[in-house]
Structure 1
Amino acid sequence: MRTAAQPRLDAAWQALYRWLGATLLPAQCALCGAGCPELLCPPCRAQYLEPGQARPRCRQCANPLAGIDVAQLCGRCLRQRPAYDATVTAFDYAPPADQLLLQLKFGARLALAPLFAQLLHVAIQQQAAWNLPQLLCPVPLGPARLAQRGFNQALEIARPLARLLDVPLQPRLALRLRETRAQSGVAPQERQANLARAFAIAPEYGVLLQGCHVGIVDDVMSSGHTVNALAAACKSAGAARVSILAVARTPPH
């Protein structure tokens, strides 16, 4: 008979099995499979990841901007300003680079998290006249999804990123008030409603947020509704500025 804790134990064993396989098998590039001492071979990094770092983007939502050489606001952000103030992303969420994030999120390949943190760190360093956040907050998962997956991919990325930036990490600052459907499975016109009243700030962190610059860390930013809802909660709790630090950005819908 399966107990209430059985799904969590099953997820833990599956994660351990995948980790042992990744540890004991010969090192190879996570994208092309070529023998490589690093997680990603130099040709794949140069071809699939580095071009996205040099692309001009909207300085608020990080959507790619065509036909210009400097970052400015896109038309969408000019029409309706989001709750967050800036976004930094490392690369576009497009094949084949998107497979890296899928390996982390659904394949429990946690060794990729430091690579994503390094890529984000490089992207942050390339921002002109940009002030670092005073603390980092990973997008929280609901209890059911956390138990099913066994880890929070945003937190796994935020840990090494906080060390690279020398910025405090506050993994318990944000609370997920209710389980929501995965945004990838929700129609675009329903995504904002799916996240209504989904986040809150833990009461004990209210004083910490007063006048603070918060960096919200996530793996993928698509429509932006998830990070916007969390940014709005941070602003309501007293944050003065919110920046989104997302590993990848999907192309405009």
Structure 2
Amino acid sequence: MSTPIERFKNGLLALFLKSNCPLCDRPAEGECCAACQRQLQRCQLAKPDNFWTGEVPVFIWGNYSGVLKRAIAALKYDNQQHLARPLGHWLAQAWLKSSIATPVKKLTVVPIPLHPLKLKKRGYNQAELIAQNFCDFTGYKHQPLGLERIRETEAQFGLSAQAREQNLADAFRISKSFGKHLPNSPVLLIDDIYTTGATVRAAAQILQKQGIQVYGVAAIATSKGQFHSS
């Protein structure tokens, strides 16, 4: 897992060194080239709070397709950790502009954790990187180790809704440090992709059993058909 110092150094390098865009391989001065950045921003949904209802309300920044799908894949599987910065900042910017951010002045942001074996293999948790950048922009408190994933689950892709719920049963627990010092503000969960919601519901239930209020979840993208890009 990258340390804050390593992330800072990588950020400085991205500012001063020109590199190729991880999405199209053209020269880029930032995290990606200007053309891909424009394409990514066009993926933003017109109403990111359109699904802010139910037991665990959901705030979604973009539509999981095209260049945004490639960006998330590059972040997760190609070690392009710096892509978490614009994605986290855009999610935060949309969040602060929405009416659902107004009622709460303080939130504790908790990323959906990876299982230790997957974390060791990948070297970082993409949801944690997104959450860190989200908090850098919003000023909310980041609790990167609030939850632990204690059971390695099957890949959710291709599973039915019922199978997803069963797959995630008892997959999470409150971390010891978080359990000893419960937050005095509601928790906002952060993830990269929202599909059926089985993962965030499982995580939310663990927090709620400890008496922790879960405000909702914010995610970068969804493939659900109810959402439309702006």
Question: Residue 51 of structure 2 aligns with which residue?
Answer: 59
Alignment match, 1:89: 60
Tell me, yes or no, if the aligned pair for 2:111 and 2:190 is still in contact at 8 Å: yes
* Residue 34 (str. 1) matches residue 5 (str. 2): no
Kept in 1, the 8 Å contact 2:28–2:34? The answer is: no
Q: Which structure carries more relative contact order (alpha carbon 8 Å, separation 6+)?
A: 2
Measured against aligned partners, the alpha-carbon deviations of 1:132-177 in whole angstroms (never above 9, x if no partner) come to: 5521111111111112212111112222222222122112211212
* Contact residue 150 and residue 173 of structure 2 kept, 8 A: yes
Between the aligned residues of both structures, percent identity stands at 27
> Which secondary structure state, in structure 2, belongs to the residue aligned with residue 122 of structure 1?
helix
Structure 2 residue identity aligned to 1:38: G
Per-residue CA distance 1:42-64 (angstroms, 9 max, x = gap): 4433344335232465332xxxx
- Please say if 1:217 is aligned against 2:209: no
Contact kept in structure 2, 1:120 and 1:247, CA below 8 Å: yes
Structure 2: gaps (5+ residues)? 2-9
- Alpha-carbon offset, residue 106 of structure 1: 0.7
Answer whether contact 1:53 1:123 (CA < 8 A) is retained.
no
- Aligned AA (1:173): G
Please identify the structure whose Cα radius of gyration is greater: 1
What is the aligned partner in structure 2 of residue 240 from structure 1? 213
TM-score (norm 1): 0.73
| Gap regions ≥5 residues in structure 1 | 1-7, 9-18, 61-72, 74-80
Q: Is the 8 A contact 1:136 1:216 kept in 2?
A: yes
Say if 1:91 and 1:248, in contact at 8 Å, map to a contact too. Answer: yes
The CA RMSD measured in Å over matched residues stands at 2.8
* Equivalent position amino acid for 2:29 in 1: P
1:11 is matched with none
How many residue pairs are counted as aligned between the two chains? 213
Give the TM-score taking structure 2 as reference length. 0.80
Is the partner of 1:230 in helix, strand or coil? helix
Counterpart contact for 1:89–1:248, Cα < 8 Å: yes
Could you tell me how far apart the structure 2 residues matched to 1:133 and 1:225 are?
Answer: 26
Query: Secondary structure of the equivalent of 1:52?
Result: coil
Runs (4+) off by over 6 Å: none
- Residue 75 of structure 2 corresponds to which residue in structure 1? 104
